[in-house]
Structure 1
């Protein structure tokens, strides 16, 4: 006769779980990126949301300059002429409204303040959209507003050192940084490695960046690949930008409205809109910004950059 197995009573995991303290962190937001571009730009505060870009009338300035060793030569007279209809930039608004039921914020705000967390995540979303607009906006974005004379095509589809050198020739007056999708940077790195000229690195903001000719290559997923931030295919086309920044360098500058009510950071406003009869508290979040390319040669674009591994797919 087989001896029956004795069952010793013991505390189960499910029951013990009820008494265990759960360690929590703030919600992790996969869409958040480092957003290097706004950090690298020089930002100019505006008083009334309008910026006028005055420019010299190139090629039509009736000014002669004399170089002579003689004292009795008549000095030429003239003046530097300006464009009569300079471009004006009006700040655009990137905004959203956050609604939180007061019952939720009253009861469920420990250890995480529900309103603060909703505002934090919403501000991150607005800043992501801001960086995207700085690059892709039809009105003021770097990609759409670069001059046609500053655009070049890749020689072989995938980015090469020769392409990057030609881009430097377009923005040769103190270029500040390249801007590229991570896939494009990887494709360029593969080609450099194949040629035996691996790019050097530099540390900015505590992070390492590849460089070319000493110019940092800054990654951003806002330079889309076939219209997508995260393309599913291993191949696709994108663009690489080279940018000169700063007003003194006649480069690219960001524009923002200074001193907005409820200002949380540069140009970002958070305002309480009130509580409705259903107990819903509403908050208006807005960023007022734009971007100006001060001279045509401040931005260069390398177009039709193939991010695929050429040696694998060809």
Structure 2
């Protein structure tokens, strides 16, 4: 007689957990949410410099230039004297020196030797640190104490909002400051969203334009370019910039030096520093850059833009 307590026959199959031991997972590169489009770097025209120095020569702004006598007559009288005048230059023009945004990558050679398939560990580390350096570059272009846009805006080119969210009236007033062929606004994404809501509330939704394959809302034909490096303070306020760009238009330009040792991109170098006695390989990653506002009226700032309290903790780009 069969044992009635014996369990019936159970058909067993290979479990998924066991099968995974023989399977290769498809792996992605390391994803970092701190990477942004860095539109400011793309929209700025970049001027090459020599020896890391850019001298900004300017006309001396005084009464002698305003009172310069320029003759205008229907015909030239040979016996009459032409007015004599000249344009004076500033005797001590400002010089911009390229600043370095740098970091050092250390990689244990055992790690790079044994764990570099399917992705090379050194290449991946360099790729991510280059992204971090480029994020720092954009932050410095806006906030650096020496050459940052916010620091170098002339006091006469700064205006305050009428209170609350940014309005079409605010941006119109900013355009009156930078009226000579302005190129684009630069603002935090939350400021752009607040402006869009205000326009919709007033029944004038802003049109969009496609640049570099991406859509941007516009005002008076000028695109509003987002950058999270225009920080929001604890009171929920930020700034909006309006720029004229390019040397020919006496605008804002970025500065870089081509042909530096170990260059992998314009003004960006990656240099091997050697291997120490602990088998750690080191690589120096450096990006040299600066920016110059060629004339005071090339950059305007709308201050005190309210976008609501927002606890923003910027990535540590240092």
Fold-level similarity (TM above 0.5): yes
Gaps of 5+ in 2: 310-318
The Cα shift of 1:248 comes to 0.1
The answer to whether structure 1 residue 151 and structure 2 residue 154 are counterparts is no
Question: Which one of the candidate residues 28, 31, 34 is aligned to 2:34?
Answer: 31
Aligned to 2:71: 66
The Cα shift of 1:69 comes to 2.4
Instruction: Tell me how large the CA RMSD over aligned residues is.
Output: 1.6
> Aligned partners of 2:138, 2:266: CA distance in 1, in Å?
13
How big is each residue's C-alpha offset from its partner over 1:20-50, in whole Å with a ceiling of 9 and x where there is no partner? 2200111001100000111111111111011
How big is each residue's C-alpha offset from its partner over 1:56-104, in whole Å with a ceiling of 9 and x where there is no partner? 0113326311122253353211111001111111111110000011111
The Cα shift of 1:126 comes to 0.3
If the length of structure 1 is used for normalisation, what is the TM-score? Answer: 0.93
Alignment of 1:2-81 (within 5 A): 6-59=9-62, 60-61=64-65, 63-69=68-74, 71-72=76-77, 73-81=80-88
- Pick closer, same or farther for the CA change 1:289–1:4 going to 2, 3 Å: same
> Aligned partners of 2:69, 2:56: CA distance in 1, in Å?
25
> Aligned partners of 1:71, 1:221: CA distance in 2, in Å?
60
- Contact 1:105–1:115 (8 Å) recurs in 2: yes
Gaps of 5+ in 1: 228-234, 310-314
Q: Alignment length, in residue pairs?
A: 302
Moved over 4 A (4+): 1-6
If the length of structure 2 is used for normalisation, what is the TM-score? Answer: 0.92
Larger Rg: 2
The answer to whether structure 1 residue 302 and structure 2 residue 271 are counterparts is no
> Aligned partners of 1:302, 1:67: CA distance in 2, in Å?
41
> Aligned partners of 1:171, 1:126: CA distance in 2, in Å?
31
SS across alignment from 1:84: coil
The Cα shift of 1:16 comes to 1.1
- Contact 1:187–1:308 (8 Å) recurs in 2: no
